[in-house]
């Protein structure tokens, strides 16, 4: 970055178009540039896919029998007012109006009580949709079209008939049963005699790669690598708020929902020990022990899974913060999935298997939240089950050995992005680390319990979420402080898409073999690499470079001398990310953009929209310039939306040419 000022940056990002003839002021680019930037029209906004309604919905154990979720076709703009559905669309459609009335009568007859599924106001949800669509250049769902319908005293057959009747209506986009919470299962406690009450040395997942995630190296060699400045929200059911090694504040528990179930409380306590265990002389040390933590519990009603995702995504989280979803759902009967023998609870899937949850996750990631989602412990291939597109980072479970082979119970497939340790995780809660006291105390007080056997995608996902907090905390603080390279003078917070690429490109590859219990006839179960914080930080982020006559500038020349402008970009650790590529020239107060037709224009447009790849020393133009001062920009932004996004997505460089 050369001679860059905040004023110039603001102009670069926000200047509007005018009618000057750009191509008479700036030299034409060489034809060879087309080899680097093939012509392609701007990408259309990505359309959302509609859910497929089942022909028949079969109610099974594992689902609530007193509620269903109902989503109306968005074009009708159906809203709830005084317990009645009203069609607000301006389009005249007598059939739709009659169907709306029919659904109201149906619910009255069975004493059903519909409510809005989401907590936030209609306007707040509309704002999230609008902002997310602009940033992500994709169509998002109208969350105001979702409703939770509470039912009274219906048999399983009556519930099935109700859902089938609703799904036959053209007014309804989808109606479905919603999954009960799945009780967490961990490995059996091991009879381990403790030698010390400080278990840090046993947390070998913190160690160097290939075994661990290289957290200790990061803490020792890079500043702000403990989640500093980042907010992380854990979404599940319960926690022990009084555990000695976690140090909660009352305000950390959002919505005041905390299950009394010991299994759920132990689970949440174990998750957060991996993330925020205090760095002290006892217990465990969390990977991101300086992160700003919060927890939000699911009660299945007002604070249902979909609602708390959307609520937490706007308060307390901000773009670049982390949402950890430590939940799983049962597969629907119509999905015809059978879990392998190593799974005791049945066919379990990631929470985004439910349409409303997927819609809320997609809206959150479009608005810059990094969502980390457990792939779930169903032992299932997610290909053709869970579609791409939510942009949550999906986490599978691997062995704790250096090979990091997939564990039998872990869901797998191309939708799974990365893995964490799915066994032998030392953390807070449960109590399988027996009696750390001298003399022994029986029973061990609940607030001083630790385990060495936390497992599943439940133990894997916090490793990934905390790693992300460490990486984003470092990039944000470092780039804000030093102002060099490819920063904007503000922090650098990666979004879900870019962070996923960084973790996958720099992680320790999964083993070449399947883990124990997986049939020998199965292909390798993809669960992705184990994150490596050191590699992610050392490979870093893209660095753009632009030069005039081989110089970083500024250069002084005359109108009779050719000026050759060349550019390069190194991808760092995020090769393959979809990006907008930009070449911009500022002449006086006017901005000129080199567009995909290789023409200079005052209309804001990228030269290309393509995957990020290394490019070295290619010529943008070589010719004479008239007298004046020229500020030339080259860079990419990782929000592929055809708009120059001024913020964390933008990586660029400048050079100044003065012609006298």
Residues 195-208 have pLDDT tens digits of: 337 899 999 999 99
22 confidence band (pLDDT: 50, 70, 90): low
Do residue 482 and residue 589 come from a single domain?
no
**Contact residues for 186 (Cβ-Cβ < 8 A; gap 6+):** 267, 270, 430, 451, 453, 454, 455, 456, 458, 459
357-376 pLDDT, tens digit each: 999 999 999 999 999 999 99
Of 489, 515, 536, the position where a domain reaches its end is: 536
The number of folded domains in the chain is 3
Dist CA 158 CA 64 (whole Å): 14
Do residue 268 and residue 173 come from a single domain?
no
Using the predicted structure, report yes or no on whether residue 474 has a pLDDT greater than 80: yes
Do residue 385 and residue 515 come from a single domain?
yes
User: Which CATH number goes with the domain that contains 116?
Assistant: 3.30.70
Do residue 375 and residue 509 come from a single domain?
yes
Q: Is residue 459 part of a domain?
A: yes
Mean per-residue pLDDT for 558-562? Answer: 95
Q: Is residue 41 part of a domain?
A: no
Mean per-residue pLDDT for 218-225? Answer: 96
Using the predicted structure, report yes or no on whether residue 240 has a pLDDT greater than 50: yes
Using the predicted structure, report yes or no on whether residue 160 has a pLDDT greater than 60: yes
Mean per-residue pLDDT for 44-71? Answer: 92
Do residue 68 and residue 159 come from a single domain?
yes
Q: Running DSSP on this structure, what letter comes out for residue 198?
A: B
**Percentage above 70 pLDDT, the chain:** 90
What token pair was written down for 396? Answer: 């599978």
Q: Is residue 297 part of a domain?
A: yes
Do residue 360 and residue 505 come from a single domain?
yes
User: Could you tell me the CA-to-CA distances from 501 to 231, 470, 505 in Å, in that order?
Assistant: 21, 16, 6
Q: Lowest-pLDDT range, 339-348, 442-451, 503-512, 573-582? A: 442-451
What's the pLDDT at 437? 59
Dist CA 565 CA 545 (whole Å): 11
Q: Is residue 604 part of a domain?
A: yes
What's the pLDDT at 481? 47
Q: What is the mean pLDDT of the chain?
A: 89
Q: Is residue 13 part of a domain?
A: no
Of 536, 554, 581, the position where a domain reaches its end is: 536
597 confidence band (pLDDT: 50, 70, 90): very high
End-to-end CA distance of the chain: 23
Domain that holds residue 72: 63-179
User: Which CATH number goes with the domain that contains 624?
Assistant: 2.60.40
Do residue 556 and residue 435 come from a single domain?
no
Of 509, 536, 563, the position where a domain reaches its end is: 536
Q: Is residue 313 part of a domain?
A: yes
What's the pLDDT at 438? 58
What's the pLDDT at 141? 97
Q: Is residue 191 part of a domain?
A: no
Using the predicted structure, report yes or no on whether residue 3 has a pLDDT greater than 80: no
193 confidence band (pLDDT: 50, 70, 90): very low
Q: Lowest-pLDDT range, 25-29, 210-214, 495-499? A: 25-29
Do residue 286 and residue 399 come from a single domain?
yes
Q: Secondary structure of 250-265 in the HEC alphabet?
A: HHHEECCCCCCCHHHH
Backbone angles phi, psi at 484, to 5 degrees: -115, 175
Is residue 613 within 8 A of residue 571, CB to CB? The reply is yes
Q: Is residue 422 part of a domain?
A: yes
Q: Lowest-pLDDT range, 246-255, 440-449, 567-576? A: 440-449
Is residue 525 within 8 A of residue 634, CB to CB? The reply is no
Do residue 155 and residue 283 come from a single domain?
no
Do residue 561 and residue 430 come from a single domain?
no
Instruction: Provide the whole-model pTM.
Output: 0.91
Mean per-residue pLDDT for 475-504? Answer: 71
Do residue 152 and residue 222 come from a single domain?
no
Using the predicted structure, report yes or no on whether residue 6 has a pLDDT greater than 80: no
Mean per-residue pLDDT for 492-512? Answer: 93
Backbone angles phi, psi at 470, to 5 degrees: -65, -45
Mean per-residue pLDDT for 239-243? Answer: 92
What's the pLDDT at 520? 86
What's the pLDDT at 439? 60
184 confidence band (pLDDT: 50, 70, 90): low
What token pair was written down for 325? Answer: 């979803």
Q: How many helices, marked H, and strands, marked E, lie in the chain?
A: 12, 27
Do residue 212 and residue 99 come from a single domain?
no
Using the predicted structure, report yes or no on whether residue 627 has a pLDDT greater than 70: yes
Using the predicted structure, report yes or no on whether residue 399 has a pLDDT greater than 60: yes
Using the predicted structure, report yes or no on whether residue 608 has a pLDDT greater than 70: yes
What token pair was written down for 546? Answer: 């632009």
Using the predicted structure, report yes or no on whether residue 41 has a pLDDT greater than 60: yes
DSSP element (H, E) containing 452? strand 450-454
């Amino acid at each position: 970055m050369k001679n860059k000022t905040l004023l110039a940056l603001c102009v670069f990002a926000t200047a509007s178009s005018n009618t000057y003839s750009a191509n008479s002021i700036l030299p034409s680019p060489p034809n060879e540039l087309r080899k680097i930037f093939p012509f392609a029209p701007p990408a259309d906004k990505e359309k959302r896919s509609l859910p497929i309604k089942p022909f028949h919905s079969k109610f099974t154990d594992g689902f609530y029998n007193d509620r269903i979720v109902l989503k109306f076709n968005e074009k009708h703009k159906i809203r709830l007012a005084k317990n009645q559905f009203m069609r607000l669309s301006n389009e005249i459609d007598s059939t739709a109006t009659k169907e709306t009335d029919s659904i109201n009568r149906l619910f009255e007859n069975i004493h059903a009580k519909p409510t809005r599924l989401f907590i936030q106001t209609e306007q707040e949800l509309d704002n999230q949709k609008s902002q997310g669509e602009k940033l992500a250049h994709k169509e998002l769902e109208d969350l105001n079209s979702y409703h939770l319908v509470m039912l009274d005293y219906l048999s399983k057959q009556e519930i099935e008939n109700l859902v089938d009747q609703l799904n036959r209506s053209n007014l309804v986009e989808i109606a479905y049963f919603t999954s009960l919470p799945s009780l967490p299962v961990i490995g059996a406690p091991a009879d381990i005699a403790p030698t010390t009450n400080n278990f840090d040395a046993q947390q070998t997942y913190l160690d160097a790669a290939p075994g661990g995630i290289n957290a200790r190296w990061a803490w020792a060699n890079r500043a702000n690598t403990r989640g500093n400045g980042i907010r992380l929200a854990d979404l599940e059911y319960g926690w022990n708020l009084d555990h000695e090694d976690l140090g909660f504040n009352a305000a950390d528990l959002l919505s005041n929902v905390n299950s009394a179930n010991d299994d759920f409380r132990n689970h949440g306590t174990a998750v957060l020990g991996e993330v925020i265990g205090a760095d002290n002389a006892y217990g465990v040390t969390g990977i991101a022990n300086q992160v700003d933590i919060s927890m939000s519990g699911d009660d299945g009603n007002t604070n249902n899974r979909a609602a708390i995702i959307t609520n937490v995504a706007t308060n307390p989280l901000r773009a670049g913060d982390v949402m950890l979803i430590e939940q799983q759902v049962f597969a629907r009967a119509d999905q015809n999935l059978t879990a392998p023998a190593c799974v005791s609870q049945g066919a379990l899937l990631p929470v985004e298997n439910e349409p409303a949850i997927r819609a809320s996750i997609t809206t959150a990631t479009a608005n810059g939240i990094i969502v980390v989602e457990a792939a779930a412990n169903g032992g299932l291939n997610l290909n053709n089950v869970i579609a791409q597109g939510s942009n949550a980072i999906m986490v599978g479970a691997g062995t704790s050995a250096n090979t990091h082979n997939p564990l039998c119970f872990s869901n797998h497939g191309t939708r799974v992005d990365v893995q964490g340790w799915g066994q032998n995780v030392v953390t807070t809660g449960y109590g399988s680390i027996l009696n750390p006291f001298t003399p022994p105390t029986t029973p061990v007080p609940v607030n001083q319990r630790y385990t060495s056997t936390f497992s599943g995608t439940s133990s894997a996902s916090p490793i990934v979420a905390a790693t992300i907090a460490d990486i984003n905390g470092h990039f944000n603080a470092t780039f804000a402080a030093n102002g060099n390279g490819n920063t904007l003078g503000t922090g650098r917070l990666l979004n879900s898409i870019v962070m996923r690429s960084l973790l996958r490109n720099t992680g320790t590859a999964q083993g070449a073999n399947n883990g124990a219990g997986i049939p020998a006839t199965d292909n390798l179960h993809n669960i992705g690499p184990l994150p490596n914080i050191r590699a992610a930080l050392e490979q870093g982020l893209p660095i753009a470079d632009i030069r005039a006559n081989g110089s970083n500038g500024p250069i002084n020349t005359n109108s009779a001398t050719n000026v050759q402008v060349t550019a390069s970009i190194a991808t760092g650790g995020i090769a393959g990310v979809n990006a907008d590529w930009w070449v911009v020239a500022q002449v006086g107060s006017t901005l000129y953009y080199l567009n995909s037709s290789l023409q200079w224009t005052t209309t804001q447009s990228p030269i290309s929209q393509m995957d990020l790849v290394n490019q070295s020393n290619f010529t943008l133009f070589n010719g004479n310039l008239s007298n004046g001062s020229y500020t030339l920009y080259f860079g990419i932004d990782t929000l592929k939306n055809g708009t120059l996004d001024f913020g964390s997505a933008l990586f660029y460089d400048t050079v100044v040419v003065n012609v006298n």
